[in-house]
Structure 1
Amino acid sequence: MKKLLFLSGTSHVGSVNWRLASAAAAITKQFFGDRIDPVTLDLMHFDLPSFEGASENDQPEDAVRLKAVFDGVAGIFMSSDEYTGTYSAVLRNGIGWLRLSDPNLRTPFDGTQVALCGSSGRGAGGLRGQPALQQLLNELGAIVIPQHLEMGTAESPFDASGALRPKAQKQLLEGCLGKLCGNILAVPAA
């Protein structure tokens, strides 16, 4: 079984992006569950002080715990909205701690396939934050899947009951989630 990590780049628990990452994990379990183990991650469950000015000797317990979640992942699905043209501070802080946890200042993103997805209840639906996040992930050595799924703001990807709409599920399976699962399954197990 290959471990696929699902996380939201937002600090708003219950947000569209948080729910989208959870829905993508459920879809993966449904369609690829015999070969992929979907693991969800909520950055808000980690008490991480600012990494600015910290050193590898200053590792808080939750930074070690965060690194352990990332260990051994075959891929990462990230749903993120945008914060004034970029990504959230909580995501940047978590990545900073991941980087400090490695003596060579590498992160678990290095060489890892990452699919980006985004949705927002207003504005451009995460569109403006995706280039900045992709640039950051590329700098960290991630292999970013070039097709991004943009749910946009015209219609929520979820219906009134909170279920993912069939159209959104189809977009995920035919888009970034399907590509990510196909790519990690094509790589032989180590």
Structure 2
Amino acid sequence: MSVRILALVGSLRAGSHNRQLAEAAVKHAPEGVEIELYEGLADVPFYNEDIDTEAALPATAARLREAAGQADGFLLFSPEYNGTIPAVLKNAIDWLSRPYGAGSFTGKPVAVVGTAFGQFGGVWAQDETRKAVGIAGATVLEDAKLSIPGSVVRFAETHPADDAEVVTGLTAVIEQLTANTGTAAA
């Protein structure tokens, strides 16, 4: 049985370095680990309890919840927008935190990584993401971290999947996440 990890990227930009980092995770996932890079976060409406009902649930939110429900764990990629978590990632966390006490994150391991232009690699946003997803019921892996500074320069000509130091750090996070899923990788 393989481990299923759902990757959520907090940047919608086509050339996003965090998206490239997620692509590197997919490419370098260990044998027995399937990482699905979720597509469609831009289409999920802002969370609103009025539409979070059986009769009104948007199809895009239902699709996100279905993908999350099939995951054994989550790998979140957060850039830093004005010192904090991007709205699209926070919105995904909000949708997946419901219904209260039984959301898709409940009891599942989550690791948060990312890259940003600044000298700290987006650590503030990643810390805020860990806080939000922990409140949403996830088992946050506080020691599974990877913050890569200087993304604009570092990845100007090199994809993260081709950066040996990044691949080593990302692989270590994925292995920690996998070990905490409770599902044995084949």
TM (norm. structure 2) is 0.84
TM-align CA RMSD: 2.4
CA contact (8 A) 2:9 2:22 kept: yes
| Aligned residue among 120, 132, 143 for 2:139 | 143
Identity %: 26
Aligned twin of 2:104: 108
Give the drift of 1:126: 0.7
Give the drift of 1:11: 2.4
Q: For 1:40-79, what per-residue CA distance to the aligned partner results, in whole angstroms no more than 9, with x for missing partners?
A: 11344x5222223524223111111111111121111111
Q: For 1:8-62, what per-residue CA distance to the aligned partner results, in whole angstroms no more than 9, with x for missing partners?
A: 122223311111011111111xx22xx2222111344x52222235242231111
Q: Confirm whether residue 6 of structure 1 aligns to residue 7 of structure 2.
A: yes
Q: For 1:104-128, what per-residue CA distance to the aligned partner results, in whole angstroms no more than 9, with x for missing partners?
A: 4632111111111110123532111
CA contact (8 A) 2:5 2:73 kept: yes
Q: Which has the higher contact order (CA 8 A, sep 6+)?
A: 2
CA contact (8 A) 1:5 1:73 kept: yes
Structure 1, unpaired ranges of 5+: none
Structure 2, unpaired ranges of 5+: none
**Secondary structure, in 3 states, of the residue corresponding to 1:73?**
coil
**Secondary structure, in 3 states, of the residue corresponding to 2:180?**
helix
**Secondary structure, in 3 states, of the residue corresponding to 1:145?**
strand
Q: Confirm whether residue 132 of structure 1 aligns to residue 113 of structure 2.
A: no
Q: Which runs of 4+ in 1 moved over 3 A?
A: 154-159, 186-189
Distance (Å, rounded) in 2 between the aligned partners of 1:92 and 1:187: 27
Distance (Å, rounded) in 1 between the aligned partners of 2:63 and 2:169: 33
Aligned twin of 1:24: 25
| Aligned residue among 156, 164, 167 for 1:166 | 164
Matching of residues 79-94 of structure 1 within 5 Å? 79-94=77-92
Q: Confirm whether residue 50 of structure 1 aligns to residue 40 of structure 2.
A: no
TM (norm. structure 1) is 0.82
Count of residue pairs brought into register by the alignment: 180
CA contact (8 A) 1:43 1:90 kept: no
Q: 1:82 to 1:43 in 2, by over 3 A?
A: farther
